[in-house]
């Protein structure tokens, strides 16, 4: 999977295939074997998840495929590892001189997935 290329200075440079994927309202960089946390719940642990909204793909040779908005025929296959929760968000509201104070908060739930392969 790793291909070494030599840059202009004569140093070896390792290039990995990666894709920019839109999932859960955000964009994530997906490389094979990496973990990505997607907003919301996507399914049961161990299930396969296909992300078809691929915005950009860079192949091992350095060739870049950019979509408008998505790359045609490209998809990222991932395996669901489980659910995780984000940090506590504290929302504090106050109106000065009125005695009004309100504190609310939440923790967002995300799905942790392992990128299995990028299909172009």
* Residue pLDDT, tens place only, 82-95: 999 999 999 999 99
pLDDT band at 67 (very low <50, low <70, confident <90, very high): confident
The domain total for the chain is 1
Residue 3 has pLDDT above 60, yes or no: no
8 belongs to a structural domain: no
The rounded distance, in Å, linking the Cα atoms of 77 and 32 is 9
3-state secondary structure of 77: strand
Average pLDDT, the chain: 89
By residue range, what is the domain housing residue 20? Answer: 14-119
pLDDT band at 21 (very low <50, low <70, confident <90, very high): very high
4 belongs to a structural domain: no
Dump pLDDT digits (tens) for 25-59: 899 999 999 999 999 988 899 999 999 999 999 98
2 belongs to a structural domain: no
51 belongs to a structural domain: yes
73 belongs to a structural domain: yes
35 belongs to a structural domain: yes
pLDDT band at 107 (very low <50, low <70, confident <90, very high): very high
Who's near 76: CB < 8 A, 6+ residues apart?
19, 21, 30, 50, 51, 54, 115, 117, 118, 119
């Amino acid at each position: 999977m790793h291909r070494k290329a030599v840059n202009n200075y004569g140093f070896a440079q390792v290039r990995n295939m990666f894709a920019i994927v839109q999932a859960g309202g955000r964009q994530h960089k997906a490389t094979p074997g990496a973990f990505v946390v997607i907003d919301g719940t996507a399914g049961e642990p161990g299930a396969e998840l296909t992300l078809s909204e691929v915005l950009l793909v860079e192949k091992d040779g350095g060739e870049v495929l950019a979509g408008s908005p998505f790359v045609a025929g490209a998809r990222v296959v991932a395996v669901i590892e489980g659910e995780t929760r984000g940090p506590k968000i504290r929302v504090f509201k106050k109106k000065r001189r009125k005695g009004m104070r309100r504190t609310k908060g939440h923790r967002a739930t995300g799905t942790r997935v392992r990128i299995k392969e990028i299909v172009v």
